[in-house]
Structure 1
Amino acid sequence: MTLEREELRDAWTVAMVDETAPATAPAGAIAGIPATVPGQVHTDLEREGLLADPTLDRDEDAAKWVGRADWTYSRTLDVDPRGHERVDLVCDGLDTVAELTLDGVQIGATRNMHRRYRFDLRDSTDGSNTRTERDLEILFESPYREAGRVAARAGAMPGPYDEPFPYVRKMASNFGWDWGLTAVTSGPWRPIAIERWSTARLRDVRPLVDIEAGEGVLDAHIAFERSGLNDLDQDGEDDDLVLVVTVSGETEDGAKTRQRSRAQVTPKQDETVVTVRVPEVQRWWPRGYGEQPLYDVVVELQTVDGEVLDRHGFRTGFRSTRIDTAVDDIGRPFDVYVNGTRIDVRGVNWIPDDVIVSRVDRPRYGSRLRAAADLNVNMVRVWGGGVYESHDFYEVCDELGLLVWQDFPFACSAYPEDEPLRSEVIAEARDNVARLSRHPSLVLWNGNNENIWLHDVDGWDATLGERGWGLDYYLDLLPTIVDAVDPSRFYTVASPWSGSESLFANDVDHETHHSWDVWNRLSDDHYRDSVPRFVSEFGWQAPPAWRTMRDAVSDEPMTPSSPGVVHHQKAASGMQKLADGLAPRFGVVPSDFDRWHYLTQLQQARAIATGVEHWRTHWPRNTGVIVWQLNDLWPVSSWSAIDSAGRLKPLAHELRRLYDDVLVAIRPVSSVRTVPAPDRTGGSDHPTASLPVADVAGSAPAGFSPIEVAVRSTRRGLDSVVRVRRIDLAGRVLAEETLPVHLDAAGVAVVTLPDAVGVVGDPTGELVVADMDWRRAVWTPAPDKDMRWEPAHYRAAFTPAADGDGLDLVVEAESLVRDLLLQPDRVQPGGTVDRGFMTLLPGERVAYRLHGVTEADIPSLTGTAVLWSLDRVLAD
């Protein structure tokens, strides 16, 4: 009989264990309210009106009691085997410290959110009754209580936050972060099911792929479990099992292909490898380098007479990957190769998309990841303070061609190495490395986020003494597991990491680098101080879209300093750092929300552009940048490009330009400076030196330093021209040159500019514009506060979209228009636009496409703060 799976989604209730109720909990018992499974208790409490949404206003503080209480989930369970030999309770994810009982008899206990569990229900009662309807109860203990017990044994673990996440294997950012609220969850966050089966079942399938001599090779590492009821102490063929692996897809010329391999195993075996070779295989490529053909794989466990006992089906892709970190004449690169091609990595960091992570479903994953792909992203780093995401996440990445860098969940803290955590780490790592092995998008595993770097810069040894703090996990345990379970993937010790314990972990010349001195203490022009080999984190903050903040904060008036807005800023000195970015560049830190919001969005886009333009145009010394961060888990001022409501910030539109296959940039001729090593001290998620913010606007005055044009072509050579104009602020062209751009192959072309366009005579009254096809770069020689901006004049013409969905807008400039921004969400909650900041010269036209608005909204779409240019914001 084939294995039967029945998911247990209905008829659950949840109750608070009264004696664990914190003093801040609401009065009265919380007993027997309907529960959503999969789910976490916060959503049920909110639905029943027992908890305010912690993402709104300052309600986070009033909801923290939930994480201090114990919660019991209950339902009736039918354990009738229905003709099968085994009945198992399968829990794909329990958050986090749980005890499971059936009719009051314990059947299991857990202490790890990141693992899957299976409980054999054959011996689940005392045998006093034979009824098949049983009462299942899952008691979730407060994670704080478990963490307290472990902390009492392990001792203090240094880190930047006063929360006990290192002591429990749970999503760390539940406990708050410098972009996240504190909402410590409990509950069955992934599906729970009954599985009935006989004879044997598939326990684990790890399909490792490669390409050899043009053939696709799939090595299916298969483990299976026997029921234990009919095992015979003999070696007759009747007791053998048969494994059949079928791979179906298309060849490169479009013909259907179906390849099958089988293996027969004896009762003494519980695992084997079945290899399937696929001739004329289509290779899976990262986005921008080719297509993403996926092959259907079916693994069947059969008896010798052909009865199917269990079946797993999924899709995978064939590609070869490697990461080169061999020492070169600079240090150590971090070069990602797929199918023998070195990839120009243009990435984003991914955090959990909701603090109540069970609310994130496949449509949400699809929306966020498709948005990333539309921004020309080709790698997503799953950050180590979150979770191993569901298969839905990785399947969408497989389909879109988004490479995945996967952190193990260790972030920004010392972690105990003793029991019970060590055994949990081993089980968790083996489980997830195996579970995710089928995804072609996954190319590397990373041991931790910033822990080794922080250990060194923050002097953790003074607190730790001789106690372990996680280094053994990263240097020995985790790489051993990856090598044993999935040797097809690369393992890196940390991010950042320089390849050796003898080197400073964040050395710019070796492997991966986090750039956080900029933002924390330095202006964004200091991104040009060096060329790291691979930047796996860097970022600059801005608030979410206006509508997202307005929906979350009821302050009247809403200002940059109003209580709700300040509460939705979690970074240490975050508001001051935003101000420190605005003042030197724009000469003002507005007190009204609209102007502040515009300028912080512009500053974020400008800062990220400075770094990306610099690093990408120094290929191949730098081969990758991964911006912090793509997404948010609540409405917050953060480093994200897409806010928690899914609205694109202007940074997202700027990333589309920066991550294009062809990038045009203007940069100082001396674009890599030699600077002394900073005084490295830390104390936050993003380590920083404790020095004042530099009074630098972000652009060197061209009257003192000439500029050049750099063109990065990712995949092909170029034979084109760049049009460079020096323009005064009235829009008059003072000088113009059309210069050749030639590349025989992908790479960087540096175009030397004649003095007429490469040196500005009046740094506060001129700018330089470089155009190649439709791509544009703009250079302002002085800070915007010193530029003598003139009022912008333009015409805006709206027409209904031809497809009836939204409006088309054409803006025609009558003067120089600097940083024009349209924000239709200020008019309609569903209003979106396909462009961010735009700079136009006199006579130029730009077309916008708007969704979520109608003709009735046209008068409002040209109003103050909806359609704005920089000169107006600075003049108001």
Structure 2
Amino acid sequence: MEEINLNRGWKLHDSPLCWEKEKLAEVKLYQDGWLTCDIPADVRMPLIEKGIIKDPVVADHCLESEWVEKRAWWFLKEFDLPDLSGKTIELVMEALDTKSDIFINGQYAGSHRSVHYPFVCPAGHMLREGKNEIAVRVTTGLEEVTDEQLSQINWAVCREDDNGGKYRSDYRRAFVRRPQYTVGWDWGPRVVTCGIVGDVYLQCSEKAVIRNVEIRNRLQGEKAFLTVTAEVESLPMISTQSCDLQVSVSYEAQVCAVSVLKNQLLTSGTNYFCVDLEIDHPMLWWPNGYGEQPLYRIAVDMVLDHDIKEHREITYGIRSLRLDTSPLEGENRKFQFYVNDVPVFCRGGDWIPNDSIYARVTDRKIEKLLEEAVNANFNMLRIWGGGLYEREYFYQLCDQKGILIWQDFMFACATYPDHLEWFRAEAAKELEYQTRRLGSHACMALFCGSNENHWLFNPQDNPQWQVDFTREKPLGLYIANVLAKKIIHANCPDIPYWNSSPYGGKLPNDDSCGDVHRWHNGFMSKDMEERIEPVLYDEVRSRFVSEYGCVGPCCVESIQEYMGTDEYERTGRAWEMHCNVFEKDSVYAGIRKHYLDDPEKLEMEEYVLYGGMFQALVLGYSLEAIRARMDCYGALFWMYNDTWGETGWTIVDYYLRRKISYYAVKRALAPVKLIMRCDKGELVVWGLNDSNTCAEAEGELGYVSFDGSIRKLRTVVFKLPAASRQCVLREKLPVEDYRKGSIMFLASGGVEDSVCLRMDDMRNLEFEKSQIEIVQTKQIGRCTHVTLTSRGYIHGAYVKGNYSCSDNYFDILPGESREILVENPNGEELRFGQVR
């Protein structure tokens, strides 16, 4: 099979929205106003490049380009072709956003109405040797949705007053298979995308083509049994033909298994060839922290007429995976993932599209975000259901890095019209394509039917949604409850499926079963004290927390970029738009509770420092609390990455700069960790070991005053078995002055961090600033290795300047030595600060 790439050298023009596909000839008569672009391209990309509009992620410029969605957009591409006679040719457009009409040499080739699966059509009869032309008319698709249609779903789509504010949201999105977030969300602006947002190419085949390769494995003893199914389409419509087929498995150029099928009969159309392979002592794939991620290469080679060859190659991680939902005490059930029969606690965050104009996201940006996730000790990302199925490269990187994927299907926060046959058909094509595409990735841990669609019908949590569903009008539940299950059972039955997120129990968002989104008793509580109090997360009783969060600011450099100026105040429309809709002065309240009065009067640098420390405190403490629940099996916070810059949920901002909270999350998710809590007058120490090897936590434990003058310590050694969570100590808390000191564990080996028991809000503790002492500095390659200590307690020690560090904004306990690595290729002199 040969591919002819058509990504480069397109022209773009707009027209009135009423100009339908019949107006192609009139559009081509335009002499002026044509823009040039390469594909993938959202229409805003060339508009920004030519200075016609400003970048919508900066300041409040998104408001100035809303006119884009009220036009029709025409893409034209001219290209030359050699003689392709005798070949079957298909035009493939991997992603069109959203309502599209496609023409080849002036002939209508078809229409498409979903961004979530590709447009593919036979093209050979419309193409010719020499000059050719492809034209595509694209609109947002929103213009077709009527009030009558919206009434069919009772207008049950998240409204501007509860999910986005004045400039965001659009009821019509539920009828359009587009990225739902592009109409605006609490964390992003209304930038309704439109364009050819995936690769475009001609696929040329002779006689037969390998359409798909599906791989399943079974582990038994010291062997792995692989079943490889090749789907082969024989192109002659009325003739049989013969082929030889070879399937091989190799690792690092060494062949592990081969199977050859000689002289196989191909009948017209689809053929399936199933091959069983056996691998002795397989190298198993593990999530990040539990082991390595070896990837085998599985090659399928087909030979027809002794010289026509087809080749497909897939990288594949051998592992078993299952989701355990077995009963616990009472009505409770587990919700625990096992990889290679080892229990895995899922640590990580929720992933959204990386830009309001997602077509311009580079592979390098995806690489950097996944590198940072691994560095922060993630082993799972949940792909949120209001965005996109990510490109193939994303899942390949997750295979390589050991990041498990919880994959929502792209339905979010709305009822959907799946009582309509055309909508069901669109959903079926989407799920069919995506499950076949993703089913053989080692990283795939779960397919999930939607984000919060079942939860909408929970009257306890969402009394404002007065919507009833029936079997005749299931309002989206048919897709999640029936259709998705049938498709997964057919395409990838080894991957677990869950109906929605949250889901489980008598009503969705029930602690007893499945996963929960902890919002109304967390940061979205109407009670400000609940929004800013991390100790409340010690009360979590859920089986799996898949969404919750806390907002905080970006660094000053990022704020200057998204505000578009270095002269601004924390007021005005642009500033308000770049503050999360649910922020509601919570950052100020958090600073006031934990640090100091009058946060509104802080200079920007101080606001960023104290606001960032507040977010870090809540996320770090809450992740520890959830991990310490022995009957909870996952902690995913909202959210990991950003679609534009704002005071918001993330720990890595839109510009790929780490927020202060990044380091707190990294420490909280360390695979081997001790967590201390006070429970009814007792000191409780939890030992966590999310790895496949045994560990020891050795050090001194006891009361230490913040000035270091009182030290009542004893030597302890805690044994931490592989893949375990357990209470390693419970004893009466000694009577001491906990305003002037605390119970501390000073680590001497086994675990990276020392631990200090949090007994009160930070601002209520009585200690003076101590001096940070530099014990040693060494420059090794691009990194400066610095060892720090202090005689007294230091809260929030940090490296001044925009450096990437192994740790930052950390506490130093009295007499403790801390070594950090600072990315500092020029060996600049480092300066240190402290929060308090």
What's the TM-score, normalizing by structure 2?
A: 0.89
Shift of 1:775: 1.9
Assess, with a 3 A threshold, how the Cα gap between structure 1 residues 276 and 295 changes in structure 2: closer, same or farther. Answer: farther
- 5 Å-filtered alignment, 1:585-600, equals 585-591=594-600, 592=602, 593-600=604-611
Would you say the 8 A contact 2:592–2:599 is kept in 1?
Answer: no
Pick from 464, 476, 480 the counterpart of residue 474 of structure 1: 480
Determine the structure 2 residue equivalent to 1:568: 578
Residue 375 (structure 2) aligns with: 374
Does 2:626 correspond to 1:618? Answer: no
Equivalent residue for 1:267?
267
2:114 alignment counterpart: 112
Partner residue in 2 for 1:694: none
CA distance in 1, matches of 2:407, 2:261: 32
TM superposition shift of 1:219 = 2.6
Contact 1:9 1:192 (8 Å CA) reproduced: yes
1:747 equivalent to 2:724? Answer yes
Partner of 1:202: 210
In structure 2, stretches of 5+ residues that fail to align are: 20-29, 160-168
Q: How far apart are 1:471 and its partner, in Å?
A: 0.8
Residue 217 (str. 1) matches residue 215 (str. 2): no
What CA distance in whole angstroms lies between the structure 2 residues aligned with 1:85 and 1:794?
A: 72
Structure 1: how far apart are the matches of 2:71 and 2:407? 32
Match of 2:164 in 1: none
| Corresponding residue of 1:690 | none
CA distance in 2, matches of 1:114, 1:585: 45
**1:228–1:438: structure 2 CA closer, same or farther, 3 Å change rule?**
same
Alpha-carbon displacement from aligned partner over 1:787-826 (angstroms, at most 9, x marks no partner):
22313323458968342x365545442432211223412x
Q: Aligned letter for 1:639?
A: W
Name the CA shift for 1:667/1:399 in 2 (closer, same or farther; >3 Å): same
Residue type of the alignment partner of 1:382: I
Shift in Å at residue 278 of structure 1? Answer: 3.0
Offset from partner CA, 1:658-683 (integer Å, 9 cap, x none) = 2222111111224xxxxxxxxxxxxx
Aligned match for 1:669, one of 676, 679, 693: 679
Counterpart Cα distance in 1 of 2:11 and 2:285: 45
The yes-or-no answer on 1:11 pairing with 2:9 is yes
> How far off is 1:488 after superposition?
1.6
Q: Tell me: CA distance 1:515–1:318, structure 2 relative to 1, closer, same or farther (3 Å).
A: same
Post-superposition shift, 1:392? Answer: 0.4
Matched with 2:835 is: 870
CA 1:575 to 1:851, structure 2 compared with 1: closer, same or farther past 3 Å?
Answer: farther
Q: Is the 8 A contact 2:343 2:723 kept in 1?
A: no
Structure 1 847/558 Cα, relative in aligned 2: closer, same or farther at 3 Å? Answer: farther
Q: Is 1:58–2:60 an aligned residue pair?
A: yes
Question: Are the structure 2 counterparts of residues 30 and 651 from structure 1 closer, same or farther at C-alpha, using a change threshold of 3 Å?
Answer: farther
- Secondary structure of 1:519's counterpart equals coil
Q: Distance in 1 between matches of 2:213 and 2:143?
A: 36
How many residues are treated as equivalent by the alignment? Answer: 795
**Secondary structure at 1:468 match in 2:** coil
After alignment, is 707-716 or 315-324 more displaced? 707-716
Q: 1:46-445, aligned counterparts within 5 Å?
A: 46-78=48-80, 81-124=83-126, 132-148=130-146, 151=149, 154-161=152-159, 162-163=169-170, 164-228=172-236, 231-232=238-239, 239-249=241-251, 256-262=255-261, 264-268=264-268, 270-280=270-280, 281-303=282-304, 305-330=305-330, 331-417=332-418, 418-445=420-447
Assess if the C-alpha contact under 8 Å between 2:138 and 2:194 holds in 1.
yes
SS of the residue corresponding to residue 49 of structure 1 reads coil
| Residue of structure 2 in register with 1:838 after alignment | 810
Aligned to 1:674: none
Q: Distance in 1 between matches of 2:214 and 2:32?
A: 44
Structure 1 stretch displaced more, 50-59 or 587-596: 587-596
Give the drift of 1:737: 2.9
2:687 to 697, 711, 715: 711
Q: Distance in 2 between matches of 1:436 and 1:479?
A: 15
The correspondence for 1:634, drawn from 638, 641, 644, is 644
Find out whether 1:509 has 2:512 as its counterpart.
yes
Cα distance in 1, alignment partners of residues 188 and 814 from structure 2: 44
CA contact (8 A) 1:171 1:386 kept: yes
Counterpart secondary structure, 2:92? strand
TM-score (normalised: structure 1): 0.85
- Asked if 1:492 corresponds to 2:483, the answer is no
- How far off is 1:370 after superposition? 1.5
CA 1:77/1:224 → structure 2, altered by over 3 Å: closer, same or farther? Answer: farther
Counterparts of 2:17 and 2:721, CA distance in 1:
74
Paired residue type of 2:201: A
Q: Supply the distance in 2 between the matched residues of 1:717 and 1:797 (Cα, whole angstroms).
A: 31
Aligned residues of 2:257 and 2:279 also touching (Cα < 8 A) = no
Match of 2:768, SS?
A: coil
Matches of 2:377 and 2:761, distance apart in 1: 29
Task: Please say if 1:643 is aligned against 2:653.
Answer: yes
The alignment status of 1:462 with 2:427, answered yes or no, reads: no
Kindly provide the CA deviation profile for residues 158-178 of structure 1, in whole angstroms up to 9, marking residues without a partner as x. 132331321111111112211
* Cα displacement (A) at 1:738: 2.7
Q: 1:141 to 1:796 in 2, by over 3 A?
A: same
Please tell me the residue identity of whatever aligns with 1:576.
D
* Cα distance in 2 for residues equivalent to 1:146 and 1:723: 68
Q: SS at the partner of 2:110?
A: strand
The letter for the 1-side match of 2:676 is I
CA contact (8 A) 1:200 1:309 kept: no
Specify whether residues 298 and 308 from structure 1 end up closer, same or farther in structure 2 by C-alpha distance, changes over 3 A only.
farther
| Aligned mates of 1:174, 1:784 — CA distance in 2 | 40
Structure 1 Cα separation of the partners of residues 724 and 96 of structure 2: 48
Q: Deviations over 1:517-563 (max 9, x none)?
A: 21112222111113311111122111122211122224665444454
- Contact 1:172–1:386 at 8 Å: present in 2 too? yes
The one-letter amino acid of 1:789's match is: F
The 1:165/1:771 distance shift into structure 2, 3 A limit, reads: farther
SS of the aligned residue for 1:409 comes to coil
Q: Shift of residue 216 of structure 1?
A: 2.7
Taking a change above 3 Å as real, the CA distance of residues 48 and 768 of structure 1, as seen in their structure-2 partners, is same
State the partner residue of 2:741: 766
CA distance in 2, matches of 1:493, 1:483: 14
Paired with 1:17 and 1:71, the residues of 2 have a C-alpha distance of 6
Structure 1 window deviating more from structure 2 (313-322 vs 552-561): it is 552-561
Match of 2:24 in 1: none
User: Take 1:752 and 1:88, find their aligned partners in 2: how far apart are those partners?
Assistant: 66
Task: Name the counterpart of 2:662.
Answer: 652
Distance (Å, rounded) in 1 between the aligned partners of 2:31 and 2:145: 26
- Residue 577 in 1 paired to residue 586 in 2? yes
Assess if the C-alpha contact under 8 Å between 2:153 and 2:475 holds in 1. no
Equivalents in 2 of 1:62, 1:119: separation in Å? 37
SS in 1 for 2:557: helix
Q: Is the 8 A contact 2:41 2:196 kept in 1?
A: yes
SS of the aligned residue for 2:754 comes to strand
- 1:776 and 2:754 aligned: yes
In 1, the alpha carbon distance for the partners of 2:598 and 2:213 equals 57
Aligned to 2:801: 824
SS at match of 1:398: helix
Cα RMSD for the two superposed structures: 2.7
Question: 1:349-407 deviations in whole A, cap 9, x for unaligned?
Answer: 11112222222233222211121111221112111111111110011111111111111
Q: Judge which range, 720-729 or 287-296, deviates more.
A: 720-729
Residue number in structure 1 paired with 2:547: 537
Shift of residue 268 of structure 1?
Answer: 4.9
Aligned-pair identity (%): 22
Select between 516-525 and 210-219 the one with higher mean Cα deviation.
210-219
The separation in 2 between residues aligned to 1:823 and 1:174, in whole angstroms, is 37
Deviation at 1:482, TM superposition (A): 0.4
